[in-house]
Homo-oligomer: A and B are copies of this chain.
Amino acid sequence: MPQDVRFDLPFTTPVSTHLEYAREQHLRWVRDMGLVRSQAGFEEYQSWDLPQAAIRTYPHASPDDMVVLMNWFSLAFLFDDQFDAASPDRADRITEVARELIVTPLRPAGTLPRVVCPITLAWAEVWEQLSDGMSLTWCTRFAASWGRFLAAHAEEVDLAARGTLLGVRPYTAFRRRTVGIHHSIDAGERSRRFEVPAQAQAHPVMEGLRDAAADTIGFMNDIHSFEREKRRGDGHNLIAVLHRERGLSWEKAAAEAFRMTSERLDAYVRLEARVPAMCDELRLTDDERRRVWMGVEAIRHWIGGNYEWALTTGRYAAAKEGPAAAAELEGRGSLDDLLTV
């Protein structure tokens, strides 16, 4: 049921026409890179339909850049699932790999990873393409956004390994860091080969927009992926946290999660209305204003595109059978181990 929950977005976002071309190249790459290792793993991966997410979140990317973005999605989502509840030591390996992923954008592009596995090899290749042509300032921002996300992800794995569950307030702060939206929005600039002016990016309105979008998308994801995470025994989901801490029924917890999501979406919309005044305050030129607006569009593409994808992806499917569902019931996050050579 939660995967069907609809939100009333006050804007529509475009969809790229490069789906077939990019998906074909992407699926070949995923196999060539060893990012799926079993037939069942490949089928599970395909059911997520990440190419549908990429064409919606980066609608203006060129055909070849669309492949790069799909490739990036695959390694990020597949890495996200590498936790295994039955092997607490796994948390250390996940941290080791996460730190390699953090360091990659801090080294000259094209450097081979020091910690070698399919995930790190894939990321080193993708980063070389993702950083192509971007300024040092953008690379710096992306590296920090990406690093904060991966550091938070490792914390999440540590919490799970220790069986620690957060309350509502720390959870919402934590969710903003684990959702991984800041670097996803940063990549929107690369996807259209432009950059938001640095002074606008540093302005509280723009920072607020990014945070509001992160909260909105994080909470939406929690609602849409609720069945999957319940099946996987993942207590870090807004509905589960509300149910547990406030003693709400599942239905009331879901309703409260919906209300909280709408509130953050409203905050986003109110902040968006302040962008013209921000541009005036910063005395931006017409060209700079145009790039600020493209930056706002990059955020919208993520809110709208991710929402559309979440409604249908097999990743969040409630009723599920087969090897992937069986692995999940055993506490294994994924069918294939991607953290070893």
**Which A residues form the contact surface with B (CB < 8 A)?**
95, 99, 102-103, 106-107, 114, 135-137, 139-141, 143-145, 147-148, 150-152, 154-155, 158, 197-199, 201-202, 207, 283
Check if B102 sits within 8 Å of A106, measured CB to CB.
Answer: yes
Check if A151 sits within 8 Å of B199, measured CB to CB.
Answer: no
Which single residue of chain B is at the shortest CB-CB distance from A149? B106
Q: How far is the CB of A154 from chain B (nearest CB, A)?
A: 8
> Complex formed: what's the CA distance from A137 to B140 in Å?
10
14 cross-chain CB contacts under 8 A: A102-B103, A103-B147, A103-B151, A106-B147, A106-B150, A107-B151, A135-B202, A136-B207, A137-B198, A140-B141, A140-B145, A143-B144, A198-B199, A198-B202
Known: A99-B102, A143-B147. 11 other contacts (CB 8 A): A102-B103, A102-B147, A106-B150, A106-B151, A136-B207, A137-B201, A137-B202, A140-B141, A140-B145, A197-B199, A198-B198
The listed residue with most B CB atoms (<10 A of its CB), out of A99, A150, A202, is A202
Contacts of A144 in B (CB 8 A): 106, 139-140, 143-144
> Complex formed: what's the CA distance from A197 to B283 in Å?
14
Q: How far is the CB of A139 from chain B (nearest CB, A)?
A: 8
Check if A99 sits within 8 Å of B107, measured CB to CB.
Answer: no
> Complex formed: what's the CA distance from A302 to B250 in Å?
59
Contacts of A197 in B (CB 8 A): 199
Contacts of A198 in B (CB 8 A): 137, 198-199, 201-202
Contacts of A207 in B (CB 8 A): 136
- What 4 pairs between A and B have smallest CB-CB spacing? A198-B198, A140-B144, A198-B202, A137-B202
The listed residue with most B CB atoms (<10 A of its CB), out of A143, A145, A197, is A143
Contacts of A141 in B (CB 8 A): 140
Which single residue of chain B is at the shortest CB-CB distance from A145? B140
